[in-house]
Amino acid sequence: MNISSLRKTGILAAVILALLGVFTLFAPAAAGLSAAYLITGGFTVYGLFKIFSYFRLPKPFRNGFVLADGLLSALLGGMILLDAIRSPMGKAEMIATLAFAAGFCALFNGISQIADYFTLRKMELPGIGFFLAGGILRVILGVLIIANPLMGWFTIQLSLGIFLLVSGIALLLEVWSLKKELPEELF
């Protein structure tokens, strides 16, 4: 099987990843604002989907919590988007809201991981201290993001930029290492 089309697609994807990473690193404000619009828009669309799916389900399968989740998600996302479109301060508030959400997720995941550590420690698993260290680092990260949400958001964007750039380079190296032909039994 000739894999030249696979290589071309892989190279294209690697270049796109690397370019997104460079864009995110050198324009974190634009990348952060773009990501905020995408996430908030996605949250709004998610809410609309939940509302639509509630009414599409047969009556015995309808759940009021699905409808409430959809209404609240669509309303909250829509209000945040409208506010962000109308004023520069709304853009900052949108970013701060998302940063708070990310910070609280990190904080609660860290607390959960620390609690899980104490359960897993009883099993005497080797290397379980890294699990505790990861939980502590998540708690610290969550507190730092919550303490300064705008800087936290842009720090997340810079980390994302590094991740995208490194992922693009790694994918490019993987694609270049592919042989011209792959054995038929792989497919």
pTM: 0.68
Are the beta carbons of 69 and 50 closer than 8 angstroms? yes
Q: Which residue has the higher pLDDT, 186 or 128?
A: 128
What CA–CA distance (Å, rounded) separates 127 from 121?
10
Task: Tell me what pLDDT residue 184 has.
Answer: 58
Mean pLDDT computed over every residue of the chain? 87
- Statement: residue 179 has pLDDT above 80: no
Identify which of 170, 174, 165 has the alpha carbon closest to the alpha carbon of residue 18.
165
> What are the extents of the domains in the chain?
4-181
Task: Tell me what pLDDT residue 159 has.
Answer: 87
Residue type at position 142: G
3-state class of 2 per DSSP? strand
Task: Tell me what pLDDT residue 1 has.
Answer: 45
**CB atoms closer than 10 angstroms to residue 132:** 16
Residue type at position 164: L
What percent of the chain has a predicted confidence (pLDDT) above 70? 94
Task: Tell me what pLDDT residue 180 has.
Answer: 61
Identify which of 118, 130, 160, 114 has the alpha carbon closest to the alpha carbon of residue 22.
160
Are the beta carbons of 20 and 177 closer than 8 angstroms? no
Mean pLDDT to the nearest integer, 44-61: 91
Inter-CA distances, 173 with 12, 57, 98, 180, Å: 12, 47, 34, 15
Tens digit of each residue's pLDDT (9 = 90 or more) over 99-111 = 888 889 899 999 9
Tens digit of each residue's pLDDT (9 = 90 or more) over 28-46 = 888 888 988 998 999 899 9
- Statement: residue 66 has pLDDT above 60: yes
Please state the φ and ψ torsions of residue 37, each to the nearest 5 degrees: -65, -45
- Statement: residue 125 has pLDDT above 70: yes
What percent of the chain has a predicted confidence (pLDDT) above 90? 42
User: Which distant-in-sequence residues (6+ apart) come within 8 Å of 46 by Cβ?
Assistant: 70, 73, 77
